């Protein structure tokens, strides 16, 4: 099973700042099948990025994904108030889909 480790656990930033979230895999993610989701408390997750760097439909361009192999990054270029939430990475390149433990992005 591919274990995904996200860092930091909590990130405290202000609106307008840049956020950088990390996701590290225990082994190479096949075909860079790595996705990022945003979850606002009380809501279902929302797909932001798939294939490591492709934005899902309707996702603002301030969200971007990068990386390959075992190291991946989600960047939010300029934080809006609605961006403060929990973010999960997910790999879907192996026979068992796994998620990271999440990064909580909170308002400083």
* Contact residues for 55 (Cβ-Cβ < 8 A; gap 6+): 48, 49, 61, 63, 64, 65
H or E element that contains 1: none
Site string for other proteins, 51-90 (x = CB under 8 A): -----xx------------------------------x-x
9 binds other proteins (CB under 8 A): no
Q: Which is nearer to other proteins, 16 or 42 (CB)?
A: 42
44 binds other proteins (CB under 8 A): yes
Find how far residue 79's CA is from the centre of its chain.
14
Which of 54, 55, 56, 3 is CA-nearest to residue 29? Answer: 3
Q: Which is nearer to other proteins, 30 or 77 (CB)?
A: 30
1 binds other proteins (CB under 8 A): yes
95 binds other proteins (CB under 8 A): yes
């Amino acid at each position: 099973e591919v274990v995904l480790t996200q860092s930091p656990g909590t990130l405290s930033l202000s609106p307008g700042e840049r956020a950088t979230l990390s996701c590290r895999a225990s082994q190479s993610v096949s075909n860079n099948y790595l996705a990022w989701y945003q979850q606002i408390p009380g809501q279902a997750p929302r797909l932001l990025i798939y294939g490591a760097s492709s934005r899902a439909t309707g996702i603002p361009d301030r969200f971007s994904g990068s990386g390959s192999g075992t190291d991946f990054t989600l960047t939010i270029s300029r934080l809006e108030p609605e961006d403060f939430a929990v973010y999960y990475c997910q790999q879907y390149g192996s026979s068992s889909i796994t998620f990271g433990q999440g990064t909580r992005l909170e308002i400083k």
